[in-house]
Structure 1
């Protein structure tokens, strides 16, 4: 009992605040979420999150990676010298080597992910509210058509419009029951039929209902066969609602087309990222004549393109199918969620460091002449933390300082074979196989001659 009293008091104060300060629904469903989204982005920026790592940080990461590869190569050379010394019967001098600890500096270049989450926070409440409002509006319009039909039947029985509205207010009229009761109470208190009906129209909030209420009011004041006019009006309103439903059903095909188009874009970018771009990036800068091509993060660019296309594509769907951009926010939210999951899964595999173990099974430390492919392929083995093979996983291959190499997918046994072509300069080349944030390396020694 006390709970009901508290709820009534709370509703009363909420109504007073809404009327006094003219608070609209959009202030709560759009204003507050947008403010929360901006605060999320601001906090992320203050915490050091960026769209791209700072220039100094990226160069430091490159230097750290080069130092790690150099250390691995020196360890390999030392192991080979120790093995040759053991074969000759010599005892190598004992030397203490300090363990090399690689401290990985994780850059906070994930502000674009945070912006996606913040955008969803900003638009999802408003999209849900607009969807529910439109759904309830359709119910009220259908119920008002039934109300006109019942009112015409009462007037055919000799009841005037005012008494007809009062009589119908005692019955269940579905979504407009409260509005009809308020109109009937207003008439009982002495307000005019026109004023009460216009209040009911305002509470229903439909342009279609407002148009037909004007017809009802004019018919009530002009006289004549009002019952037949109300009956024809109710039939006309039902026909209009039926036409609107048919139009929306016909326009749904465009929704399907937009969703399929977004899926096709994701598939095409996945093919580019896994097949074409790794091959182009592995060809080498000298052959393509482009500086810095291998350093361009195409996957991140595709991620931005797909998410932006999902957001604006949803707005276009709302404008085409429902006539208002605000009804497209729900499609934007759905497309962004689906696209984000697909992109993170396919284009941006967020593998955690240590999730995979990548080792060179064979083909390591081969000697060759520059510009020629290796006689034997380098085979990498990819396993998970439990030592199980990881089949069907994309492995990005790179060769430094230059050369031609192609990325590939792991086989059923978790292995992937690659036959790189090193550059023409003499020296040591590093082949790196990367899955997520885990990587494994192999070396190629290029000589002037065998």
Structure 2
């Protein structure tokens, strides 16, 4: 018993200090629901930047591709030299042991942390979700208060029909259960008992309820109480009018819900279109080796990352537009932005981008490497890559992005049930070593093609 009393006493003390701070420093709900989450989101971004997390830049992508290509050419050259030495040794009757070069994996601390765009999505969600939830529940509470106030006006009109004046009738009603506005009505009634005027007490109640609709009808109630006449009938008609306005607002919101569905479907269509572009059209265009103005090759542009940024921004601003159109205020669109961003992010990391950081697969070439062909014609044998997870298990139905450099044509594909993917590229017409790169997640595998006798 004493323990319960102590808890109640501490709760009342804390509530009193919170009220004092709120009145003295004019603390608003937005300071807690929006200001603090924004500070937390900025702190998350700051820590991420300080710990080495960065965006994926075109320079880094191009530099990585150039390094991979150079390393692959060097490996192909060393393998060719080793084969020539082995052939010469065989002619002399000697046996030369060929040592396989083992490449050590890059230490985890030295891997590039290019996932800042993922962290930024999480930071945006941290910043807007508390405010969006608070706005949603505050709106629901406001709607309940407006309905309860219309019932209060109806009950007050019935009391006034019995000959009770507005002040006494309001005080008597405050002692009953008025739903979500019980505390507001009790505060106004207490103010009347302490000698405050009916007008001042009702306006205080209006301010505490924070409803423009309630404020408008409270003005009508106050004016009716002071002018006299058939106030009971006036209050009855006013309560009926307020109920009609509330019903019209609900019907309006119900009719506008179709636009919410349209915006959500549009966001889904954008995600699916970008997925089709990334898996079908863009790999074909990039494989051709076309160049844009400035000499930048299409294969060097990270279209998937650009699509990812576009989709997330469209989800953010699309949600705000939904709030403005359907509910008349942008702040009510944050909940739609949070939902759209979450769904779009899951779709993007599933379809367009790798969800994790670092290599999540192992990509090896199992056949078709090192073929010598004429330039400008398809390979006689396909190049087959094998994609496995870190435990060596095959990874089926996984998208593998293919590219060939310095030029040529190639098509991306999905892995088979055994984790393999076969590709038949068409190298360019110039003589030299061509590098075929298979990208699964953030892991790559390479194969070489040697073109001889092509057109210069």
- Give me the TM-score of the superposition, normalised by structure 2: 0.91
Shift in Å at residue 164 of structure 1? 0.9
C-alpha distance in structure 2 between counterparts of 1:52 and 1:438, whole Å: 15
C-alpha distance in structure 2 between counterparts of 1:96 and 1:251, whole Å: 71
Q: Hey, what does 1:9 align to over in structure 2? A: 13
SS in structure 2 opposite 1:432? strand
SS in structure 1 opposite 2:417? coil
Pairing partner for 2:445 from 440, 444, 448: 440
Q: Is the 8 A contact 1:273 1:347 kept in 2?
A: yes
Q: Hey, what does 2:53 align to over in structure 1? A: 49
Matched, 1:70 2:73: yes
SS in structure 2 opposite 1:134? helix
Q: Tell which deviates more after alignment, 274-283 or 43-52.
A: 43-52
Q: Is the 8 A contact 1:53 1:107 kept in 2?
A: no
Q: Which has the higher contact order (CA 8 A, sep 6+)?
A: 2
Shift in Å at residue 229 of structure 1? 1.2
Pairing partner for 1:107 from 94, 109, 112: 112
C-alpha distance in structure 2 between counterparts of 1:34 and 1:285, whole Å: 43
Pairing partner for 1:148 from 153, 163, 173: 153
Matched, 1:405 2:404: no
Q: Is the 8 A contact 1:351 1:435 kept in 2?
A: no
Pairing partner for 1:244 from 234, 242, 249: 249
SS in structure 2 opposite 1:433? strand
SS in structure 2 opposite 1:372? coil
C-alpha distance in structure 2 between counterparts of 1:238 and 1:420, whole Å: 71
C-alpha distance in structure 2 between counterparts of 1:103 and 1:255, whole Å: 47
Give per-residue Cα distances to partners, 1:403-423, cap 9 Å, x unaligned: 111111122333222111111
Matched, 1:213 2:218: yes
C-alpha distance in structure 2 between counterparts of 1:286 and 1:157, whole Å: 88
SS in structure 2 opposite 1:312? helix
1:412–1:130 Cα change, 3 Å: same
Give per-residue Cα distances to partners, 1:265-319, cap 9 Å, x unaligned: 0100111111111111110136999533211111111111111111111111111
Give per-residue Cα distances to partners, 1:337-379, cap 9 Å, x unaligned: 1111111111112356553233333322222101111122222
Q: Hey, what does 2:183 align to over in structure 1? A: 178
C-alpha distance in structure 1 between counterparts of 2:105 and 2:267, whole Å: 41
Matched, 1:29 2:39: no
Q: Hey, what does 1:304 align to over in structure 2? A: 309
Q: Hey, what does 1:375 align to over in structure 2? A: 380
C-alpha distance in structure 1 between counterparts of 2:61 and 2:389, whole Å: 28
1:420–1:54 Cα change, 3 Å: closer
C-alpha distance in structure 1 between counterparts of 2:397 and 2:62, whole Å: 32
Shift in Å at residue 328 of structure 1? 0.9
Q: Is the 8 A contact 2:111 2:358 kept in 1?
A: no
Q: Tell which deviates more after alignment, 255-264 or 350-359.
A: 350-359
Matched, 1:61 2:64: yes
C-alpha distance in structure 2 between counterparts of 1:151 and 1:85, whole Å: 110
SS in structure 1 opposite 2:80? helix
Gaps of 5+ in 2: none
Give per-residue Cα distances to partners, 1:184-242, cap 9 Å, x unaligned: 11111122111111111111111111111111111111112211111111111111100
Give per-residue Cα distances to partners, 1:134-158, cap 9 Å, x unaligned: 1100010000011111111111122
Gaps of 5+ in 1: none
Q: Is the 8 A contact 1:141 1:208 kept in 2?
A: yes
SS in structure 2 opposite 1:285? coil
Q: Hey, what does 1:18 align to over in structure 2? A: 22
Shift in Å at residue 43 of structure 1? 2.8
Q: Is the 8 A contact 1:73 1:443 kept in 2?
A: yes
Shift in Å at residue 126 of structure 1? 1.2
C-alpha distance in structure 2 between counterparts of 1:288 and 1:222, whole Å: 79
Between the two proteins, the alignment pairs up a number of residues equal to 448
Q: Hey, what does 2:264 align to over in structure 1? A: 259
SS in structure 2 opposite 1:425? coil
C-alpha distance in structure 2 between counterparts of 1:45 and 1:85, whole Å: 55
Q: Hey, what does 2:95 align to over in structure 1? A: 92
